[in-house]
Amino acid sequence: MSRAGLTPDRIVEAAAELADSAGLDQVTVSALARGFGVKDASLYSHIRGLDDLRTRLALRSAADFADRLGEALAGRAGEQALTAFADAYRTYALTHPGGYAATQLRLPPDVVAASPGHQRMIGLTASMLHSYALPEPDLTDAVRLLRSTFHGFAALEATGSFGHPRAVPESWSRITAALHALLTDWPRTADA
């Protein structure tokens, strides 16, 4: 271990802090090395490079995100589960913008398949939607609708793009209620 107390976990933790405070695009090996007060080369004995660092950050963030979603869903079903899931999603995206951005990175399928955090997020999403009893391909379509809605809303909110005087939480509450109504009366595909 170097004089800066470097370990892969400490480097990824610093990357998560930097991503949340400055943005995922600001997470570089050089920026982290400066933060630790060491040369870039000191980090390379712990990580293989920027791609490895971002992958590790994505895996860490997915686990953290899954923990938040799991806590929100505990003991809930139906509309309560949907609302809790949506609220936890939005809160994580807004309070951990860099970590959230890392969860959106496209990773190789084998990395996602081996990631406990990613697999738990997939399972929690399926669990949240279970009471709506959507067969495939409707389930996939519903997941895509929810992810697009939650992601888009949080992205717009994070940039202050909602300029109308109506309170943002009021709109969010109405949107989640509308999503519940849609999921309850989902238009079934002909082949479902």
- Flag whether pLDDT at 186 surpasses 80: yes
Q: Is 0.95 topped by the overall pTM?
A: no
Q: What is the largest CA-CA distance in the chain?
A: 64
CA distance linking residue 184 with residue 131, whole number of Å:
9
53-107: per-residue pLDDT in tens? Answer: 999 999 999 999 999 999 999 999 999 999 999 999 999 999 999 999 999 999 9
Count CA atoms closer than 13 A to 170's CA, side-chain side: 5
Written as six digits, the tokens of 70 are: 């799991």
CA distance linking residue 69 with residue 74, whole number of Å:
9
